[in-house]
Every structure is written in C-alpha cells, then in structure tokens.
Chain A
Amino acid sequence: MEKQKKVYVKPIITKQKTGFVGKFGKAGLHSVLEKIDGVDIEELVEKFGSPLFVISEKTIRATQRKALRIFKTRYPKVQFAWSYKTNYLNAVCLVFHEEGSWAEVVSEFEYDKAKLLGVPGNKIIYNGPHKSKSSLIKAINDEAFIHIDHFDELFSLIELTEEIKKTAKVAVRVNMDTGIYPKWDRFGLNYENGEAYEAIRRIMLSDKLNLVGLHCHIGTYILSTDAFKIAAYKLTDLYKRVKYEFNHQLDYIDIGGGIPSKNTLYSYYLDASVSIPSLEDYADAITSGIIEHGLKSDELPLLILESGRALIDEAGYLITTVVANKRLSNGKQAIIVDAGVNLLFTSFWYKHKISTTEFYGEVRDESVIYGNLCMNIDVLRDGVFLPPVPVGKQIIFHNVGAYNMTQWMQFINLRPNVVMIMEDGSVEVIRKAETLNTINELERIPEKLLKK
C-alpha cells in the first residue's frame, strides 16, 4: 500500500482563545462540504467548470413550503409573490411559480419575462418607481396589479386608462415610519402626512382605476420584527378606512419583503443564526398586526408577501477554485480564488459562510479571500479562519442565491455556468457560461475601424 503523502503546513503562531463565542462572536470557522444535495462538488467542477453557481431545487421548495406553512398557520389568506429582481433565472422563477407564488416585477423587462414564463396577468404585481408607458398599457390589458409609486404615475395612469378605455387594477404603495432607520420614504406615498390617503381619494374618484390593494415595503434586511408589526397595523388601518369611508372592499394588503436570510452582515458581530429573529417571529409580528384590528374573518384582506432573499439565499452556492496562496505583509494569509466580486456582489454586505471540500487540518489562520479581478476592491471574504487550501481545491460560498445572479456583471472575466441540482439528483445547466461571442455579438465595429 502506497503511503499517503502528508501535506506540509507552515508553522504559525495563533493567540489562544477559549470556547467558540467570544466578544467578537463565533470565530469565522469554515466547515467541510463535499456534496451538495448528494452531488459531489469536485465532479461538478470537472463537468461544468469553475467558478460555478449551484442552485438546489430541493432547498427552494423546502424553504418556500416552510414559509408558506409558517404564514398560513397564522393567517387564513396568504399569497407569496416571487420577487423577480432577487433571482430571475427562468428555472428559479418557475420553481417558485410551481409552488404557487405569483410574480413581483419592477420593470418592463421583468414584466415581459414573467409573461413569457406563462404567468397570467392577474398573478403579476407590478412595482417600481419607473414603469414605462408601454409596460403600463400591457399591465392594464393583462389585468395585472399596478402598484402606484408616485402621483405622477397616478396621473399618467388616469390618462392612459381614459385613452385606451380600460380599467386598471391598482394598489397604492405606502411608506411610513415604522421606528427603524433608515426610513424608506423614497418609494410610494407617505402614510403619516396623508399623502397616501390623498392618492386613495384620487383613485376612488376615477372610474377607470379599480383600487384593489395597499402595499408597503419598509426596507431591506430588517432585523426588528416590531417594524413589520407596525407596518401591517398601519396598512390594515388604511384598509379599514377605505372600507368604512369609501364603502370599498379592498382585496389585499401587500407587506412587501425585507425579511433577512441566514447571511451575517459585516456590521454584525454575532452570527446570523443567533442574531436574526426566526421567520416565525416575523410571521407572528405581521399577522398579529392585522389581526389586532379585530376584523371579522370574512373581512380579512389577503396578505401578500414579496420575500426574496429569505426564500432563495440558502438554495444558492458559489463554487470557486483556489488559484494561489500568499502571505500579506501584515502576516495574514491570503487566498486567491477564480471568482471576483463581479460575480459575488453580496460579498460587499455579508460575511458569507465558507466551506472547503476536504479537511485540511486543525491549524487555522486568519485569512482573506481575494477574487481574481485586477482590482483592489476585489475581496470576497475577510476575517475568516482557514487552514491553507491547496491550489486547485475548492472553496464554497454559501447562501448566495439572492441578488448575485441578477446584479452580477460581466467584468474582466466571463460569467460562468449556473446549474440546478434537481430534486431527483440530476444536474441541469440553467444558464450557460458566457463565451467571447456572447459579448462580441452585441458589439458593432464602425466600418472605418475595420481592417480593409
């Protein structure tokens, strides 16, 4: 039997710490991950290249079902709408739609994408501060729910509906003080100063606008469940006022998104698993904010949720491969991998959980993981304790399902394959890696620059 060669590890001196959780929280430890949903990571890289985004269908469905269970056991009428901007890969959207989610879109591009995926108009919520005229006409004709963001949009909707002689189904996006900072008041119309109510009044006066709901979205990555309770309470209050003052029954209130995922923000010491309230806590807060109004059960509005990251983050992984190890002048270990921040946008915000595919020994050194861009800002993860990871081996970033596959950009390198591990264990490419041609195809060279 051939003797296995031991990996040489350079001796280092580390300050002794007792226990896991100190003043600075759980030490940035990594874990070993050999397989995702039973599929070997090294094999994935062999087959689909590195870097590689991996999405687990099983995890999406399980997360969505769990969220649905948590809300539905607390409130009788619940509807989720998949926030396209969080991840609008067709396969991902379709899994959510199969689980019963509607589509929540914020641009004409997203709107068309949803329609192309077969989502009927009456299951599309059209949000956002800029809705083109052509997309509004589509939305009116498709009977999609148009969430009005500002008065100018309201006026143009009144004009448009008169022009095309059709009724639009609309909701008002409301912003409000929920006691948190930053207060999002750039979207929608204000609750406290009466702007939202004024918009409702204007809509009620128009016979071509049918007010069907109220919407708010109090922020992103909200760590206070109370803020959600206040939002739900205020929105339901408005819902009641519409009912009693205009004798008009609205169909729904849409509480938006903003519920965090299991990622830890850089500004937080403690790990997300201990510092973030559970989804149950958020659900308790939101539903009790509505229930406290004491409406009869048949008067209760449909509760719409537009959660994005809380539903998809966990299902996404980014597999990278180590290009080089080096030691910085301050003694820190640096690991360079083959993916940059252009792919992993969220590394600006989160201390992503890290895994390696093998166990490389007990000795861990404070490390920084750099990307492969020739840019100083290209830091994927700082302050993580890692053993030296051999060149050619994989480092996996967890909880990357949200925003990365929409906010990524083609920069310096081409964007890689995205695969989905299906429920049955098979692996499907759901977005092909870009080629030079993908980029060049869009370019046009002025004739005089072409070589004769």
Chain B
Amino acid sequence: MSLSIIIIDSVLFSYSQIFFSNRRWFGLLVLLATFISPVHGSIILFSNLITNIIALLLKYEQKKIREGFYGFNGLLLGGAISFFYKPNEYFFPILLIFLIINFFINAAIENYFAFAFNLPGLSFPFLLSFYLFAIFNSALHLFDFNTEMFFQSTFHLISVSTEINLFLQNLGFLVLQNSIISGLIVLIAILFFSRIMFLLSIVGYLFALFYLHFFRIPIDSQLGILISLNSIIVSIALGGSLIIPSNRSFVLSFLGVSVVTIFTIVLSTLLQKVNLSVFVLPFNFTVFLIIYALKFRESSGEVVLLYFKPGSPEENYYYHKNQKARFEKYKFINVGLPFNGEWTVSQGFDGEFTHKEDWRYAFDFVVTDEKGKTYDNTGTKLEDYHCYGLPVCATYKGKVIKVIDGIDENEVGKVNIKQNWGNTVIIDHGQGLFSAVSHLKKNTIRVKEGDEVEKGDVLGNCGNSGRSPEPHIHFQFQKNDKLGAATIKFPFGHYLVNRGEFLELKSYDYPLKDEKIQKLEINSKIKQAFNFEYGDKFEVQFKKDEKVVKEIWEVKVDPYNIPYIEASTGSYATFFADEEVFYFTSYVGKKKDALYHFYLAAIQIPFTSMNKVRWNDTYPISIFTNKLIMILSDALILIYNPFKAEGNFTISEEENGDYLFLNRIEFFGNGIFSSINWSRDYKVIVDKNGFLKSFYFIDRKNIKNEFTFIMEEER
C-alpha cells in the first residue's frame, strides 16, 4: 500500500474515530465541519497530520496508524489548544512539542489500555496532554485565554428552539467548533452513518435536559453545556458503539447520562479550582468505569460488550447477532462422540433416573436397532443387547488419569450400588476438562493410568458393570479427576442427528434424549479442497458483462492470527476451520466480486460426502444488497429482528465422482414483513481429486453465473 494512501486514510479515519466511525466520508465531513473557521480547521488538520507522521517515522504498526488510532488524540489536542487559546508567534513550535508529548502519552496509554484492560484508551491521552499544556501555560503565560470561544451558547439559528440550537452547538463543540453549522454537518454525518447513533445522540441529550431541569442548572450555562455534550457522547458510546445495540440501549444511555452528569458536576468543581476545563473528561471516566466494570460479570445476557473490530452500531449488531446464532456454543476444544456408529441417548441432561444435581450434565448411550429395540431375542442375556461389547473411544486427546477395572458385570435387571460407576476410565483433557466413561465390560479396558490417548482411540468395551441394569455407557465431562465428580456442561463438536429422511448436522451442541446420533464421516478429498493455507493462491474466472474477468485470491493471516482470503479487488473474507468443518466468519468488500459469492455459497462446509447430511447456517443480513430492507431493518433492530437470512445445505455426489454442495439461501421477513422473501441456489463443486472446481448461482433472470477455479497447471 502506498504511503500517500496510508497518510490520507490515517487523517480521515482520525476524524471519524471521534464518533467511533470507520468511514472515510465521515472523516471528510468532520474535517469540513472543523473548517467552518478555516484557521482553526487548519490547525486541527496540521495536528492530525503531524501526529500520524510521527507515528509513521517511529515505525508504529501501519494498520493502527491507518485506522486513526494515534491521529485522533492529536487532532483533539490541536483543536483544543486553538479553541481555548489565542495563537501567537510561539504557537506552532509549542504545539509541535505538545503534539510529540501527546503522541507518546497516547502510544503508552492506548496500548496499555488495550493490553491491560482490553479497552480503548478513549481521549484520556489528549486530556492529559491538554492539562499539561494548560498548567505549562499558566506558569509562563505564553498564550491568552480565548474567552470568546469558551463554552457558551451563541444563538445562530433564530427560528428553532433553544434546545435544538444547543444540541447542534454541543455537537459542534465535540469537534471543537463553536458553530451550529459544524454541529449540523456532524449531525448529518451521524445520520448517514448510523440511525441508531443518531437516535442515541438525541436520546442522550434529552436525558441530559431532564437532569438539567431536575437540578435546576440553566441549559445554556457552562456547566449545562458540559453536561449535555458529555451526555450525548456517553449515550453514543454505551448505547451502540462500545456495547452492542439491543433493546437495553436506552437503559444504558440513561444510566450513562446519570453517571456522567454527576461526574461532570464533581469534576468541574474540582478542576475549576486549578483553572482547568473538564471538557470530555467525565465522558472518559464514565465510559471507562462502566465498560470495565461490566467485564467482570459472569454472563453477558443482552448487554454485550463489543468484542471485535467496531463498525457502525448497526454493523456491530448484525455481526454480533450472526456470531451469536452461529457460534454461541462454540468451544476451542472439538470433542467427538465416545463411540462409533449410531447410538441413542437413553438419558440426557437432567434425566429422569440418575442425571440430577451435580450429575445433571451426563449422558447414557445405548444402541437401538431398526425396530427401535435395544436387544435381540428376549433381552434376558447381556449378549442380546446391541451395545454390549462395542468399543468405546476417547472423545478428545488427553492423559488417562484413572482406570477402574475388575468389577463384575451385572445380570440383566440387577444393579451394583456398592460400586456405582462400574468399570470406568477418566481422562484429563487439560484446561480443566475431564471426561469419564462408565459401566465398561470387565477386563476390556485397553488403556492404563498415565497413557496418552488421542481422539477416537479405543478405551474399552461397553458393558454392564456398576449401577447399570442393562448394558449402556454413561458419559460425562467433569470438573476433576475424581470418580463421580460434578459434571460440566460441555458440547460435542460435530455430530449427526438421525431425522429419518436425513441426518442433521449439529455443531457444538448437546444431544437430547432419544436422539440417534453418530459422528461425521470425514471425506479427505473435501477436507483437502477446503484446506486454505497461508500463501495459497487461487485464480477465479467468471463472466461480467460478456467479458471474462479474473480474480486472484490469496490466503493471508492478520496480526490477530485470523486467516482470511483476500481478493485482488481488495475484498476479503475471514474464515476458520476445525478438523471437521470450514466456516466463513465475515466478508468485507464489494458485492460483485467472486469472493462475495463464494462466501455466500460456502459459508459452512463440513468435510463430508455422506449424502443424507443436511445443515444450515445464518447470514448477517447486512451482507445482502437491498438498501430499502436495510433501512427498514436498521430502524427496527432495537425492538425486534425483522429479517433473517439462512443457508440450507445438502450434498450429493455427481456421476463423475465430483462432490456438489447445494446451498439454498432463503431471505425472509418476520411479522409485518413476512411478505418479503426470496431464495437463491448456490452450488459449489469440489473435484473428486480434492480441488475446488467451480461455484455458481442462478440469478433472477434465470442466468447461470458461473465462477471457475483455474488449476495451477492451466495457468
């Protein structure tokens, strides 16, 4: 990437960062808003530019520089100094020195906050630098106070109410302009960027007005203005930008405004004594306090802190909803079922017999036949039972920590309550996860204490020892290595549920009672086709407006170790895969690219060719193009989720041995929008030798849009 692009981006994104935005045009509008007074705007631009150049010269990470991570504190400092003080001949040299100081404070604080608290450093660095400047100036009196520019209302728009004037002026103050026009530009930028943010800014202001009225503070007094401008930005931050928007957003906004009002009163009383302005300090304290405190909850419920790279509140919402729908129960440990073939859950969580209290998260498994019976003949002999003597395997790699063997098998119908668990193997999987499998057949255990086992290794055979009236296995994840320890609710990675006509793929889920479940059989060819390794390159060819277009994809890994495919058009799609399933996790870029269609077509691909398997996945609806639907959806998401997009997959094998994944994407509205729905069929073809061959979809005009992978030797 060229230096000029980095510099331009860093400048624009620094502006947009003030409102947690990640749009260049937003930055441009803020820049415009600061140029209402050109001198002032130039100083801000200069500060922004200088800060970013310092960061570049000192070789800080380019990605962060580009995203405005360093620049925005710089521009705030430049803006604040020129806002509060009258420039003279000393101005630029002194400003430069303070920009350098600010840069170091920023680099230290922002990075420390990110590392220590996993929180943004907000504008603390700027405030600290600004106070340093103010104290420095109070000693030397180099610059005069700019009394005109002080936080005061100057009524420019006569025709509207005081409150509206003040609202716009507050927005102007946030970009260090005492101008209603600036405020108006900012407001328009916010409206286009995010309707939620727009709403939150108004709501935050209204809550502030409520407190001002309540405490009898004049709204156009200095304190009144400080309270309202801090409230607006707190409402934006807590309601949608740093916490994922939900129907709790207004509650959070109210809570934030309440806290920030008190903080503003307290801090301005304190700082007045040393002649410093609180400016946005209350906002910083409030947001930091609330977000940091919320991190220590046991579970997040509806109020979820932003855990990914922020976008607009709407984008955050869609991304989060999608992640939640897709990966809510996802674990980094992908455990398999403890057996081969199809077994039936005869007792699940909170079972009616023994799975209660500490042992509620346990499973009993048996084998049922085509007639639904667990035995042949009369069922009076152990050998009559289908599961009796079947191999039982390790669910995940680990160390065998306890083996109990030598307990006799019970006759059918009898139980041994003295040695409740029967012959048992307990495995330590690390990270506090243990698994235990019980009621094994006497003298069939093949492992000994201390053995390292791999996922799928045979441990022993199913039997009827312990508290077991008929052959079955009892399986549980538990908290420690003790026999009969308390159970842990931990999901199985991937398994298939027999639904009669088809097998439903479940991922990171808990089998239910009476479900017939089995492992996913892995097809190494399909696994190979979806094995995207760092540096792999693909060439995709397709027709666009009657012309053949080529797109080159390259597999890369970002600094957070997240792999992604980057197209030559600049679009990219992040993905991850475990041993059994490939997932696309996000797509950023144009909706005409081949990569976009591949993301849609292959959002989730299990490495199997079992022809009765079906699965589905959900898309963030923001990935689809229809603007009207997005506006409707944006307007309603704080109340309910009006639209849903789902991919429904099946797999078949072609006559020539190729594998075909069919994905019917269905987009549909809920409630009043139920008449809005469409579907589109995507197909992905994997060559029988384990290479991606092509993918295509049929569009509304019934035209086949095909994308072909060009093999290396053909290139």
Within 72-92 of A, Cβ neighbours of B (below 8 Å) are at 72-77
Q: When A74-B341, A296-B454 are in contact, do A118 and B369 touch as well, CB less than 8 Å?
A: no
* CB closest residue in chain A, given B367: A73
Q: How far is the CB of B464 from chain A (nearest CB, A)?
A: 16
Contacting pair B456 A69 (CB below 8 A):
no
The CA-CA distance from A280 to B390 in the complex, in Å, is: 10
Within 104-118 of A, Cβ neighbours of B (below 8 Å) are at 118
Q: Does B587 reach chain A (CB closer than 8 Å)?
A: no
Within 320-352 of B, Cβ neighbours of A (below 8 Å) are at 339-343
Q: Does B195 reach chain A (CB closer than 8 Å)?
A: no
Mask of A337-369 contacts with B, CB within 8 angstroms, 1/0: 000000000000000000000000000000000
Give the interface SS of chain B, mostly helix, strand, loop or mixed.
loop
Residue from B387, B454, B654 in contact with A297 in the complex, judged by beta carbons closer than 8 Å: B454
Q: Does B519 reach chain A (CB closer than 8 Å)?
A: yes
Q: How far is the CB of A132 from chain B (nearest CB, A)?
A: 23
Most chain B Cβ neighbours within 10 Å, of A62, A69, A71: A69
Q: Does B302 reach chain A (CB closer than 8 Å)?
A: no
Q: Does B657 reach chain A (CB closer than 8 Å)?
A: yes
Q: When A72-B340, A73-B343, A77-B521 are in contact, do A143 and B655 touch as well, CB less than 8 Å?
A: no
Contacting pair B340 A74 (CB below 8 A):
yes
Residue from B343, B370, B455, B688 in contact with A62 in the complex, judged by beta carbons closer than 8 Å: B370
The CA-CA distance from A410 to B511 in the complex, in Å, is: 56
Q: How far is the CB of B381 from chain A (nearest CB, A)?
A: 12
Mask of A395-412 contacts with B, CB within 8 angstroms, 1/0: 000000000000000000
Contacting pair B369 A66 (CB below 8 A):
yes
Residue from A65, A118, A122 in contact with B688 in the complex, judged by beta carbons closer than 8 Å: A122
Contacting pair A297 B455 (CB below 8 A):
yes
Q: Given the complex, which residues of B lie within 8 Å of A71, measured CB to CB?
A: 341
Q: Does B656 reach chain A (CB closer than 8 Å)?
A: yes
The CA-CA distance from A282 to B340 in the complex, in Å, is: 17
Q: Does A42 reach chain B (CB closer than 8 Å)?
A: no
Mask of B636-658 contacts with A, CB within 8 angstroms, 1/0: 00000000000000000111110
The CA-CA distance from A284 to B390 in the complex, in Å, is: 8
Q: Given the complex, which residues of B lie within 8 Å of A22, measured CB to CB?
A: none
Q: Does B68 reach chain A (CB closer than 8 Å)?
A: no
Q: Does B551 reach chain A (CB closer than 8 Å)?
A: no
Contacting pair A69 B369 (CB below 8 A):
yes
Q: How far is the CB of A57 from chain B (nearest CB, A)?
A: 14
Q: Given the complex, which residues of B lie within 8 Å of A72, measured CB to CB?
A: 340-342, 518
Q: Does B613 reach chain A (CB closer than 8 Å)?
A: no
Q: Does B393 reach chain A (CB closer than 8 Å)?
A: yes
* CB closest residue in chain B, given A122: B657
Q: Does A331 reach chain B (CB closer than 8 Å)?
A: no
The CA-CA distance from A223 to B657 in the complex, in Å, is: 37
Residue from A76, A120, A143, A296 in contact with B340 in the complex, judged by beta carbons closer than 8 Å: A76
Q: How far is the CB of B527 from chain A (nearest CB, A)?
A: 10
Number of interface residues of A (CB under 8 A): 23
The CA-CA distance from A407 to B653 in the complex, in Å, is: 34
Contacting pair B367 A76 (CB below 8 A):
no
Most chain B Cβ neighbours within 10 Å, of A62, A66, A69, A73: A73
The CA-CA distance from A74 to B339 in the complex, in Å, is: 8
Q: How far is the CB of A302 from chain B (nearest CB, A)?
A: 10
Contacting pair B387 A73 (CB below 8 A):
yes
* CB closest residue in chain A, given B657: A122
The CA-CA distance from A77 to B520 in the complex, in Å, is: 10
Mask of A291-305 contacts with B, CB within 8 angstroms, 1/0: 100001110000000
Q: Does B389 reach chain A (CB closer than 8 Å)?
A: yes
Q: How far is the CB of B372 from chain A (nearest CB, A)?
A: 12
The CA-CA distance from A121 to B656 in the complex, in Å, is: 8
* CB closest residue in chain B, given A75: B340
Q: Given the complex, which residues of A lie within 8 Å of B457, measured CB to CB?
A: 296-297
Mask of A267-307 contacts with B, CB within 8 angstroms, 1/0: 00000000000001000100100010000111000000000
Residue from B391, B393, B655 in contact with A120 in the complex, judged by beta carbons closer than 8 Å: B655
Contacting pair A297 B386 (CB below 8 A):
no
* CB closest residue in chain A, given B371: A62
Contacting pair B370 A296 (CB below 8 A):
no
Residue from B341, B458, B653, B657 in contact with A73 in the complex, judged by beta carbons closer than 8 Å: B341
The CA-CA distance from A76 to B337 in the complex, in Å, is: 11
Q: How far is the CB of B460 from chain A (nearest CB, A)?
A: 12
Contacting pair B343 A65 (CB below 8 A):
no
Q: Given the complex, which residues of B lie within 8 Å of A76, measured CB to CB?
A: 340, 456, 519, 521
Residue from B342, B454, B455, B458 in contact with A291 in the complex, judged by beta carbons closer than 8 Å: B458
Q: Given the complex, which residues of A lie within 8 Å of B367, measured CB to CB?
A: 69, 73
Q: Given the complex, which residues of B lie within 8 Å of A74, measured CB to CB?
A: 340-341, 390-391
Mask of A36-72 contacts with B, CB within 8 angstroms, 1/0: 0000000000000000000000000010011001011
Q: Given the complex, which residues of B lie within 8 Å of A120, measured CB to CB?
A: 653-657
Q: Given the complex, which residues of A lie within 8 Å of B339, measured CB to CB?
A: 73
The CA-CA distance from A76 to B393 in the complex, in Å, is: 10
The CA-CA distance from A3 to B393 in the complex, in Å, is: 68
The CA-CA distance from A57 to B458 in the complex, in Å, is: 36
Contacting pair A73 B393 (CB below 8 A):
no
The CA-CA distance from A62 to B369 in the complex, in Å, is: 10
Contacting pair B657 A143 (CB below 8 A):
yes
Q: Given the complex, which residues of A lie within 8 Å of B688, measured CB to CB?
A: 122, 143
Q: Given the complex, which residues of A lie within 8 Å of B391, measured CB to CB?
A: 74, 287, 291
Q: Given the complex, which residues of A lie within 8 Å of B393, measured CB to CB?
A: 297
* CB closest residue in chain B, given A143: B657
Q: How far is the CB of A305 from chain B (nearest CB, A)?
A: 14
Q: When A75-B340, A298-B456 are in contact, do A121 and B657 touch as well, CB less than 8 Å?
A: yes
The CA-CA distance from A118 to B339 in the complex, in Å, is: 34
Contacting pair A69 B454 (CB below 8 A):
no
Residue from A73, A77, A143 in contact with B390 in the complex, judged by beta carbons closer than 8 Å: A73
The CA-CA distance from A74 to B391 in the complex, in Å, is: 6
Q: Given the complex, which residues of A lie within 8 Å of B342, measured CB to CB?
A: 69, 72-73
Contacting pair B456 A297 (CB below 8 A):
yes
The CA-CA distance from A155 to B341 in the complex, in Å, is: 40
* CB closest residue in chain A, given B336: A297
Q: Given the complex, which residues of A lie within 8 Å of B654, measured CB to CB?
A: 120
The CA-CA distance from A73 to B367 in the complex, in Å, is: 8
The CA-CA distance from A69 to B369 in the complex, in Å, is: 8
Q: Given the complex, which residues of A lie within 8 Å of B656, measured CB to CB?
A: 120
Q: Given the complex, which residues of A lie within 8 Å of B390, measured CB to CB?
A: 73-74
* CB closest residue in chain A, given B393: A297
Residue from A73, A121, A287, A296 in contact with B456 in the complex, judged by beta carbons closer than 8 Å: A296
Q: Given the complex, which residues of A lie within 8 Å of B387, measured CB to CB?
A: 73
Contacting pair A69 B341 (CB below 8 A):
yes
The CA-CA distance from A287 to B370 in the complex, in Å, is: 22
The CA-CA distance from A62 to B458 in the complex, in Å, is: 28
Q: Given the complex, which residues of A lie within 8 Å of B456, measured CB to CB?
A: 76, 296-298
Q: Given the complex, which residues of B lie within 8 Å of A297, measured CB to CB?
A: 393, 454-457
Q: How far is the CB of B392 from chain A (nearest CB, A)?
A: 10
The CA-CA distance from A291 to B341 in the complex, in Å, is: 15
Q: Given the complex, which residues of B lie within 8 Å of A73, measured CB to CB?
A: 339-343, 367, 386-387, 390
Q: Given the complex, which residues of A lie within 8 Å of B343, measured CB to CB?
A: 73
Q: Given the complex, which residues of B lie within 8 Å of A121, measured CB to CB?
A: 657
* CB closest residue in chain A, given B519: A76
Residue from B370, B519, B521, B653 in contact with A66 in the complex, judged by beta carbons closer than 8 Å: B370
Q: Given the complex, which residues of B lie within 8 Å of A296, measured CB to CB?
A: 454, 456-457
Q: Residues on A close to B: CB < 8 A? A: 62, 65-66, 69, 71-77, 118, 120-122, 143, 280, 284, 287, 291, 296-298
Listed from nearest, the 4 A-B pairs whose CB atoms lie closest are A297-B456, A73-B341, A72-B341, A122-B657
Having A73-B340, A118-B655, one finds 16 other A-B pairs with CB under 8 Å, namely: A65-B370, A66-B370, A69-B341, A69-B342, A71-B341, A72-B518, A73-B339, A73-B341, A74-B391, A76-B340, A76-B519, A120-B657, A143-B657, A287-B391, A296-B457, A297-B454
Q: Residues on B close to A: CB < 8 A? A: 339-343, 367, 369-370, 386-387, 389-391, 393, 454-458, 518-519, 521, 653-657, 688
A-B contact pairs, 9 of them (CB 8 A): A69-B342, A72-B340, A73-B342, A73-B386, A73-B390, A76-B519, A77-B521, A120-B654, A121-B657
